[in-house]
Amino acid sequence: MKKTSIASVLSSQGVLIALAALILFGWLRYDHFLGLFNITSVLRYNSMFALVSLGMCFVIMTGGIDLSVGATAALGSVVSALLSPYGTMAGTLGGVGAGLCIGLINGFVIVRLRILPFIATLAAMLAANGAALLLAGDQSVSVSYDSGFTDLGQGDFYNIPIPALIAAILYVVGSIVLNFTSSGRTVLAIGGNEDASRMMGLPVNRIKFLVYVVSGGLSGLAGVILASQFGAGQPIEGVGWELFAIASVVVGGTLLTGGLGSVGATLAGVMLLGLIFNVLNFENGMGFISLSAYWQSVIRGVFLLIVVILQSQLTGRAERVEAR
CB 97: neighbour CB atoms within 10 A? 16
Tell me if 91 sits within 8 A of 226, measured CB to CB. Answer: no
Q: Which segment (44-52, 79-87, 111-119, 204-212) binds another protein by CB under 8 A?
A: 111-119
Q: How far apart are the first and last CA of the chain?
A: 12
Beta bridge partners of 62: none
Q: Can you tell me which of 20, 119, 172, 173 binds another protein, judged by CB under 8 A?
A: 119
Decide whether 34 or 239 has the Cβ nearer to another protein. 239
In a 3-state reduction of DSSP, which class is residue 232? strand
CA max distance for the chain: 66
> What x-and-dash track marks residues 192-221 binding another protein by CB under 8 A?
------------------------------
Strands 141-142 vs 232-233: parallel, antiparallel or unpaired: antiparallel
Decide whether 166 or 250 has the Cβ nearer to another protein. 250
Decide whether 70 or 153 has the Cβ nearer to another protein. 70
Taking CA atoms, 301 is separated from 16, 135, 306, 313, in Å, by 20, 32, 9, 18
Q: Which segment (85-93, 265-273, 275-283, 306-314) binds another protein by CB under 8 A?
A: 306-314
Supply φ then ψ for residue 138, to 5 degrees: 60, 20
Q: Which segment (117-125, 144-152, 173-181, 190-198) binds another protein by CB under 8 A?
A: 117-125
Decide whether 38 or 296 has the Cβ nearer to another protein. 296
Pick from 175, 157, 140, 161: which is nearest to 48 by CA?
A: 161
Alpha helix segments (H runs only) across the chain: 2-29, 36-61, 69-83, 88-107, 117-136, 151-154, 162-180, 182-192, 194-199, 204-230, 241-251, 263-286, 295-323
C-alpha–C-alpha distance, residues 135 and 138, integer Å: 8
Tell the smallest beta-carbon distance from residue 22 to another protein (Å). Answer: 20
Decide whether 285 or 301 has the Cβ nearer to another protein. 301
Pick from 180, 56, 194, 187: which is nearest to 118 by CA?
A: 56
C-alpha–C-alpha distance, residues 143 and 150, integer Å: 8
Q: Which segment (46-54, 116-124, 203-211, 216-224) binds another protein by CB under 8 A?
A: 116-124
Site for another protein in 221-240 (CB under 8 A): 240
Q: Can you tell me which of 172, 298, 320, 322 binds another protein, judged by CB under 8 A?
A: 298
Q: Which segment (3-11, 196-204, 226-234, 295-303) binds another protein by CB under 8 A?
A: 295-303
Q: Interface with another protein includes 39 (CB under 8 A)?
A: no
Tell the smallest beta-carbon distance from residue 280 to another protein (Å). Answer: 13
Site for another protein in 120-139 (CB under 8 A): 120, 122-127, 129-131, 133-134, 138
Tell the smallest beta-carbon distance from residue 11 to another protein (Å). Answer: 15
Q: Can you tell me which of 21, 89, 116, 286 binds another protein, judged by CB under 8 A?
A: 116
C-alpha–C-alpha distance, residues 223 and 171, integer Å: 17
Site for another protein in 250-289 (CB under 8 A): 250, 256-257
Q: Can you tell me which of 115, 160, 165, 321 binds another protein, judged by CB under 8 A?
A: 115
Residue ranges binding another protein (CB under 8 A): 65, 109, 113-116, 118-120, 122-127, 129-131, 133-134, 138, 240, 243, 246, 250, 256-257, 292-302, 304-305, 308-309, 312-313, 316
